[in-house]
Chain A
Amino acid sequence: MSNLAGKANAMTLITPIDGQVMALINKGIFFFLGTRFLKHKLNGLLTLSMIHYARWVILSARDFPRLSAAQPAEELDYSYMLFFSNFNGSWAQYVDSFSVAIPDGLDGLWWRNVGWPHSVPEEPFHRYVTDNQLWTSHYHSAYPMAASNDIKSAKVVKDQLRAFARDTERDEPNAFLERYNRLLKSLQHDLGRMAPTPIVSLATQAVDERRRADAHLKA
């Protein structure tokens, strides 16, 4: 069981929303976040640049899948919001970054959720996240050694490198060198080698060490 896959960290929260009307209002907030009227509220999320992908899902009792008449229908007064995030860094770095960088945005995203303590001060906010977090049993990242910024930088490098290789195929050496230097200057923000993550969880380190020891015993 781990919320970690290399540099990626999985956060899953389930939080109650009081009733249908409040759920509709929250869905409205998310709807307007996708429009030009409120899209700027997400600038903080983009600036933080820690998130690969995240989603919010608001469910009422009737939205819970029911696949057979024998399966009891859910009877819930509250609606529930599920939050899934794939981010880089430790739990504390992530939670604190949000609390500091976009406190108003967080209060909007969890607007009037039952028990929501506001994103500032941090201690009650930490408690709320901890209390409502679900633990992942299996977590997969396609690129455990890459941060979200690495993915975006890699696309820039790939696009420019492909174009450069095509465009300089017939260049004389001096012309090639000049364009090569321009390429490096243009990519200086995006180059840099990746490596396995530093240890962000002693538990994960212990599991890795145990697996290595087991593999050694089997060998």
Chain B
Amino acid sequence: MSNENGNAYALTTLCPLMAVCGQDASPAALIRDRLHIVNTGAWSPLAKVPNVYFSRLLILDDVVYQSKPHRLEHLKSQYLVFEASLHGKLGPFLEGMWQCAEPFIRSMWEFCVGFSEVRDARTFTAFIEKCQVKTTFFFNGSTDEPLAEQLKSLYLKQEFSKFAYDHQGLSAKELQAAFKAFIARVEPENLARPTWRAGATDLSNVVIP
């Protein structure tokens, strides 16, 4: 049983919702409404968080009844399910998440039991750790490199594929000169730029120059 597979980490949390929150709608309905209008892609608040490969949020209203002859049972609380597949250790990830997405966190977790005690990155980490459940089995079908390395790799794959296509049939001298200019432009060792933007869904805005 492990939350880790190499350098990849599987965070799974079930954050219990308050039964009531003093508003006309239930906490679950309010959080759903907020989640449905959160920006997506490169504008998702999670796109700013370092080292998150994938993440999702959803409301677990109840368990699912399997029909007769099986037993009918219900959860006593609803839960905000937050899960992420990320690179590295949990502590630095949660600290980075607080630094990069505090308004989003405050909005989405506002109606969760125990969130009222969250004031900063340290108390947010403590809160999430209380809500965390252990992964039984974590399958990694990708790589476990830091996200910045993955995004740089994708940028290089895209650019070098184009270079190879565009520079066919040149003389050795011309090709070498073009390749040197290409390497100077794409800076393979520089992870900061040029690279791909996390979460980008369109070729027109995917490159950070």
Contacts and interface: CB of A to CB of B under 8 A. Distances in A.
Give the secondary structure class of B's interface. Answer: mixed
Interface string B89-126: 00000000000000000000000111000000000000
Nearest to B73: A76
A157 B156 contact: yes
Contacts, number: 281
A80 B63 contact: yes
Given A142-B47, A144-B41, A173-B172, A180 B179 contact: yes
Contacts of B60: 14, 134
B75 A56 contact: no
B1 A31 contact: yes
B76 A75 contact: yes
B7 interface: no
Given A53-B54, A53-B138, A144 B199 contact: yes
A142 B75 contact: no
A74 B76 contact: yes
B54 A136 contact: no
A151 B59 CA distance: 30
A138 B36 CA distance: 7
Contacts of B8: 53
B208 interface: no
A142 B150 contact: yes
Interface string B122-141: 00000000111111111111
B71 A138 contact: no
A207 to B, nearest CB: 9
A14 B151 contact: no
A50 B142 CA distance: 9
Contacts of B57: 136-138
Contacts of A158: 149, 152-153, 156-157, 188
Interface residues of B, number: 91
B199 A140 contact: yes
Nearest to A116: B66
Given A63-B133, A115-B66, A144-B199, A157 B12 contact: no
A1 B33 CA distance: 10
Nearest to B51: A142
A107 interface: no
Contact of A190 (B41, B131, B132, B157): B157
B141 A46 contact: yes
Contact of A154 (B38, B153, B199): B153
Given A54-B141, A75-B73, 20 more contacts: A52-B141, A53-B141, A55-B10, A56-B137, A57-B12, A65-B131, A78-B63, A84-B56, A136-B58, A137-B35, A137-B59, A138-B58, A140-B46, A142-B147, A143-B151, A151-B154, A154-B157, A165-B183, A173-B176, A176-B175
Interface of A: 1-2, 5-6, 8, 10, 12, 14-16, 26-27, 30-31, 33-34, 42, 45-46, 49-59, 63-68, 70-78, 80-82, 84, 86, 114-115, 131-132, 134-146, 148, 150-155, 157-158, 161-162, 165, 171, 173-174, 176-177, 180, 184, 187, 190-196
